């Protein structure tokens, strides 16, 4: 039975091509290069996958693979796409750079964080900077609702200050006015190396922890590992704030530790909880992981690399992977 008999309207060839449907907002140079891969021995299959998608999320998941492939090609690497593993799965890419070979597993998270209004953030952040006078070594995220009056903002700041003075890592507080309406909130995100508070701006609607989603994708990527080879997981998303959640997923939630001595000059020791993908001896064959930032209109990706501690690493491989994935941002 054809699609007409099933009550579905056949689509023209132009609209069968997801590059024409979903690719309209892509950077022109990116779109042109992807189309040039049609007859590439390896990447032609990647382009075919992109063209065949009927689902927008799946299209942008595959686009993430294409953007990483483009990033590596620009750095002189040779790629094989969807390389079979002995377990019956596929590594997304086999990558050869000079004499080094590794297997790359690319995932994407749509964190769906709405963009901040830059003018609004700039105006409010100057008022919030007073919290950075507090002598506690914490990264603190503050969120606030639109249209707060000066009196409401002052109330938020006073409540936040009292909370920060006594809170611990992971604690969260909601600020309310005299009538019980929510003004915003504060969360103690993590310790940091400085003696005073460092403030970041959160979403008005609440704090969003994407770490569980990143962690699930790390587990899925691990199932695609090539045994006894160097494997690298990279996960992309669209917002700068996502890097902290990637770090939490990989290394564990920040916690206070009472079973060890704090560093000199500090009253409390901090560590990581057991929920990290790299916790202890878990997944010891995973030694390198990266996060990259990319939005559909971007011409390139911006990437960061994490390297596992307390494992034996090949220095030459580590240095080459830094060159490929550590942008220094």
Q: How far is CA 306 from CA 212, 250, 270, 287, in A?
A: 18, 9, 20, 8
Distance CA 163, CA 147 (A): 23
Q: How far is CA 9 from CA 5, 12, 16, 20, 59, in A?
A: 9, 10, 12, 18, 22
Looking at residue 202, its pLDDT comes to 66
Looking at residue 328, its pLDDT comes to 55
Distance CA 5, CA 214 (A): 42
Q: How many CB atoms lie within 10 A of CB 142?
A: 22
Tokens 């901040």, residue? 116
Looking at residue 82, its pLDDT comes to 97
- CB burial readout 47-80, b (16+ within 10 A) else e: bebbbebeeeeebbbbbbbbbbbbbbeeeebebb
Radius of gyration (C-alpha) of the chain in whole angstroms: 23
Looking at residue 8, its pLDDT comes to 39
Looking at residue 24, its pLDDT comes to 86
Q: What is the pTM of this model?
A: 0.72
Residues of the chain with pLDDT under 50: 1-15, 115-123, 257-262, 268-270, 329
């Amino acid at each position: 039975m054809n699609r007409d008999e099933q009550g579905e309207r056949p689509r023209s060839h132009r609209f069968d091509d997801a590059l024409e449907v979903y690719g309209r907002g892509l950077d022109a140079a990116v779109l042109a290069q992807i189309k040039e891969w049609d007859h590439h021995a390896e990447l032609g299959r990647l382009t075919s996958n992109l063209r065949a998608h009927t689902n927008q999320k799946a299209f942008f998941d595959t686009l993430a693979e294409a953007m990483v492939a483009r990033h590596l090609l620009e750095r002189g690497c040779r790629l094989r796409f969807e390389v079979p593993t002995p377990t019956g799965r596929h590594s997304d890419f086999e990558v050869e750079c000079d004499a080094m070979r590794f297997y790359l597993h690319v995932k994407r998270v749509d964190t769906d964080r709405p963009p901040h209004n830059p003018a609004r953030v700039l105006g409010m952040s100057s008022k919030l900077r007073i919290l950075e006078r507090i002598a506690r070594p914490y990264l603190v995220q503050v969120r606030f609702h639109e249209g707060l009056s000066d009196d409401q903002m002052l109330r938020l700041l006073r409540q936040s200050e009292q909370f920060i003075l006594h809170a611990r890592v992971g604690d969260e507080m909601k600020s309310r006015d005299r009538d019980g309406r929510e003004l915003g909130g504060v969360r103690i995100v993590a310790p940091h190396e400085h003696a005073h508070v460092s403030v970041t701006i959160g979403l008005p609607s609440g704090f969003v922890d994407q770490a569980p989603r990143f962690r699930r994708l790390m587990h899925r990527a691990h199932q695609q590992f090539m045994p006894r080879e160097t494997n690298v997981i990279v996960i992309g998303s669209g917002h700068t704030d996502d890097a902290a959640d990637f770090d939490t997923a990989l290394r564990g939630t920040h916690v206070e530790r009472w079973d060890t001595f704090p560093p000199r000059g500090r009253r409390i020791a901090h560590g990581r909880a057991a929920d990290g993908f790299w916790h202890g001896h878990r997944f010891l064959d995973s030694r390198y992981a990266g996060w990259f930032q990319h939005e559909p209109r971007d011409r390139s990706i911006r990437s960061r690399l994490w390297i596992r501690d307390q494992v034996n690493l090949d220095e030459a491989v580590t240095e080459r992977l830094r060159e490929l994935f550590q942008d220094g941002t």
